[in-house]
Copies of this chain bind each other. A is one copy, B any other.
């Protein structure tokens, strides 16, 4: 049911096709995040228009609200939110570790309090897989523990737990129409990362995720980790860099062999009135845009840039009109999705290496890396 074919490669960069029950996923791909079974402010029709293929949803949030059993009763996530193409759910691990005010990890799992009502819940690898089977995404994730990358001792403990939980996640899985990806941890320690990459690669996962990055390490550390990990991973499995990133991160990640990305940055920036552009990140609330008749980015083909001026977008922001968030989300998501599509084409026609420097330069002003959940 799942197969991954690399149709072209240039250096470490790969263009592939991952087949799923909801259609072929062309990689590299950037996935918008639909935390609560909706990519914030956008209809599925708008997502489709802007070229989205893979959409991510969050297990932690959907487990709490509306409940994975309700989603299952409504026919699963695809039908519930009416997204007909491939979907991915995370394991809930990262969000439990980062969001929950109080949580207690043990070797069996993690007990935490809901951010909604303070009620107590417990996730184990088996529970995470059960929830993800209820949700029904095409790609699901093993339960893992994400550590502070600069805390070597904790990174080692968390990595070892992640490995045991990876095996338990595999054993817990019952549905055959979902691809379970394993997750590599190990912080920024090359030794730990190598051990983790080799261990996860040795298990029968159809795809492999790189966790624990873009959460406080330097760019150099992220790049070194990707270089190391990607050398150790098998060629024939898709590689997913979780929670990344900025335009520059995508270019750098693809150069280092990554196939799949997701990040809330485009929609989160939109809610903060910010837009990606080749001039750098723009804050559309800025008074200098009050009478600016240009689109956000003159080279952009998205609905927002093809239709509206910066002056109008600024007016919507100043007048607190929600349409601003919708229009900026369309632009920011389109920018990343289209960038990755352009890169894919360049890998196929063997021009990636000659274009990568220009892309990095073009998107440099959007470089601040922020992991926002």
Contacts and interface: CB of A to CB of B under 8 A. Distances in A.
Chain A: interface size category: 35 or more
Nearest to A309: B74
Interface in A35-73: 36-38, 40-46, 61, 65-66, 70, 73
Q: How many copies make up the complex?
A: 2
A309 B326 CA distance: 22
A316 B316 CA distance: 23
A187 B147 CA distance: 70
B45 A315 contact: no
Interface in A1-54: 36-38, 40-46
Given A81-B312, A312-B80, A293 B74 contact: yes
A264 to B, nearest CB: 14
Contacts of A314: 66
Interface stretch (A167-175, A215-223, A317-325): A317-325
A70 B291 contact: yes
Contacts of A65: 315, 318-319
A360 interface: no
Nearest to A312: B80
Contact of A42 (B315, B319, B323): B323
Contacts of A318: 65-66
A286 interface: no
A312 B38 CA distance: 10
A92 B179 CA distance: 59
Given A43-B323, A70-B315, A326-B326, 16 more contacts: A36-B316, A36-B321, A37-B312, A38-B316, A40-B322, A40-B323, A41-B323, A43-B307, A66-B319, A70-B291, A74-B293, A74-B312, A80-B312, A81-B312, A82-B308, A322-B325
